[in-house]
């Protein structure tokens, strides 16, 4: 049930992160990263890391059960969880290229998929994060079909808001799953369902998102054979820097959406993104982003590039903009154009 609050409210107040205890601070500088890419043997490395990641996820096989009512739909995943969302088709003749559009976190939970569409309820959030643009509209205008669903905790799946994320994550862990794993497994299944539709060209499916959605975009490209390209804005850096003193990740809460327990000390975020080498990849980060330090993002981009080089794959399209933790309109346009080129 949705919270009885105004969807246009500003994000909830958040506690300041506390420093790590000394012994954890020491570990931050000494993570083993035994499955980090070592510079050679790409295919063997990819098989080992991908298998470990996939095995750690909640059930993600099979085809989600779907109920459609015009552009609105409900999907039931392999875990039994249900979500609501929207599938919109562009003008023209099918089959269409498609984008799995992944919504941001934003510290506001009343809306999920609606955040990215041109709706009155999303106006405040879009002004804050996207220069007022609706990413769904930009993609539809470029000829893409767009599928966007509520992630666990948002919109139709509201679970108490910011202060309840920790409990949701703890409950998942207590039952053998993780919040990050649940989101990943559901995005894999969403891409599979999208690829199964008669209106969609299964060879031209991409993922796009900003912030939490940006994390999910490269994640699903790494994990899903149905996703052929990804554009990610505002979520890429090295783990140690994301846990440095004062970093937002240290607050917990939202952090659980990005933390896979089986992988935490074994592979860094750019290693995980590098599993998508061979697929067209687009990354942008904002200078002055308090979540993604610029130097760390640059190192992460370089690492992904080195993995792509070892895989004999094209380098990712990486770069920075000047607007901190946002997806400004020119960057959105760049991302849409990039996906348009890769979709043919």
Q: Would 16 be classed as within a structural domain?
A: no
Q: What is the CATH number of the domain that holds 188?
A: 3.40.50.1820
- pLDDT tens sequence across 218-262: 999 999 999 999 999 999 999 999 999 999 899 999 999 999 999
More confident residue, 343 or 183: 183
Number of structural domains (the chain) is 1
pLDDT > 60? residue 112: yes
Judged against a pLDDT cut of 60, whether residue 22 lies above it is answered with yes
Q: Mean pLDDT, to the nearest integer, of 316-324?
A: 99
- Provide the percentage of residues in the chain whose pLDDT is more than 90: 93
- Mean pLDDT over 195-213 rounds to 99
Q: Considering the domain boundaries, does residue 293 fall inside one? A: yes
The answer to whether residue 2 scores a pLDDT higher than 70 is no
Q: What is the mean pLDDT of the chain?
A: 95
Task: Show the domain range for 70.
Answer: 22-342
Residue % of the chain over a pLDDT of 70: 96
Residue 1: pLDDT band (50, 70, 90) is: very low
- Is the pLDDT score of 213 beyond 80? yes
Mean pLDDT on 133-144: 99
The answer as to whether 4 is a domain residue is: no
Residue 5 has pLDDT above 60, yes or no: no
In a domain, 3, yes or no: no
219 contact partners, CB below 8 Å, separation of at least 6: 184, 187, 272, 273
Report, as an integer, the average pLDDT of 125-140: 98
pLDDT at 144: 99
Could you give the strand order of the β-sheet that contains 281-286, starting from the edge strand earlier in sequence?
Answer: 65-69, 72-76, 82-88, 145-149, 96-102, 200-210, 229-233, 281-286, 317-321
pLDDT digits (tens, 9 = 90+) for 57-92: 999 999 999 999 999 999 999 999 999 999 999 999
- For residue 281, pLDDT over 80 is answered with yes
* pLDDT number for residue 13: 56
Q: What pLDDT does residue 17 have?
A: 83
Q: Determine the Cα–Cα distance for residues 328 and 11; give it in Å rounded to an integer.
A: 19
Q: Do the domain assignments include residue 11?
A: no
Q: What is the pLDDT of residues 156-199, one digit of tens each?
A: 999 999 999 999 999 999 999 999 999 999 999 999 999 999 99
Per-residue H/E/C for the chain: CCCCCCCCCCCCCCCCCCCCCHHHHHHHCCCCCCCCCCCCCHHHHHHHHHHHHHHHCCCCCCCCEEEEECCEEEEECCCCCEEEEEEECCCCCCCEEEEEEECCCCCCCCCCHHHHCCCHHHHHHHHHHCCCCCHHHHHHHCCCEEEEECCCECHHHECCCHHHHHHHHHHHHHCCCCHHHHHHHHHHHHHHHHHHCCCEEEEEEEEEEECHHHHHHHHHHHHCCCCCEEEEECCCCCHHHHCCCCCHHHHCHHHHHHCCCCCCCCCCHHHHHHCCCCCCEEEEEECCCCCCCHHHHHHHHHHHHHHHHHCCCCCCEEEEECCCCCCCHHHHHHHHHHHHHHCC
Q: Please indicate, yes or no, whether the overall pTM of this predicted structure exceeds 0.85.
A: yes
* pLDDT value of residue 9: 42
Structural domain includes residue 288: yes
Residue 94 within a domain: yes
Residue 254 placed within a domain? yes
**pLDDT band (50, 70, 90) for residue 14:** low
């Amino acid at each position: 049930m949705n919270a009885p609050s105004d969807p246009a409210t500003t994000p909830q107040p958040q506690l300041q992160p506390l420093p790590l205890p000394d012994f954890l601070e020491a570990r931050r500088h000494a993570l083993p990263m035994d499955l980090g890419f070592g510079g050679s043997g790409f295919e063997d490395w990819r098989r080992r890391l991908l298998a470990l990641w996939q095995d750690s996820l909640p059930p993600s096989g099979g085809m989600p059960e779907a109920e459609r009512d015009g552009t609105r739909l409900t999907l039931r995943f392999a875990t039994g969880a249900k979500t609501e969302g929207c599938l919109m088709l562009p003008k023209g003749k099918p089959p269409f290229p498609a984008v799995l559009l992944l919504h941001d976190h934003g510290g506001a939970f009343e809306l999920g998929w609606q955040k990215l569409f041109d709706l009155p309820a999303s106006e405040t959030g879009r002004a804050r994060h996207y220069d007022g643009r609706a990413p769904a509209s930009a993609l539809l205008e470029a000829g893409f079909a767009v599928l966007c669903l509520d992630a666990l905790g948002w919109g139709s799946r509201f679970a108490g808001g910011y202060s309840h994320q920790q409990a949701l994550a703890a409950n998942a862990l207590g039952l053998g799953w993780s919040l990050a794993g649940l989101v990943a497994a559901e995005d894999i299944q969403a891409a599979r369902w999208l690829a199964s539709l008669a209106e969609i060209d299964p060879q031209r499916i991409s993922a796009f998102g900003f912030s939490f959605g940006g994390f999910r975009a490269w994640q699903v490209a790494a994990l899903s054979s149905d996703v052929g390209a990804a554009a990610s804005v505002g979520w890429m850096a090295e783990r140690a820097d994301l846990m440095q003193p004062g970093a937002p990740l240290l607050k917990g809460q939202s952090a659980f959406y990005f933390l896979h327990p089986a992988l935490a000390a074994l592979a860094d975020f750019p290693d995980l993104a590098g599993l998508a080498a061979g697929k067209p990849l687009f990354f942008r980060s904002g200078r002055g982003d308090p979540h993604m330090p610029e130097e760390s993002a640059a190192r992460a981009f370089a690492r992904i590039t080195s993995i792509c080089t070892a895989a004999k794959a094209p380098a990712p399209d990486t770069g920075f903009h000047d607007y901190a933790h946002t997806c400004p309109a020119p960057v959105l346009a760049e991302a849409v154009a990039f996906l348009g080129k890769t979709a043919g």
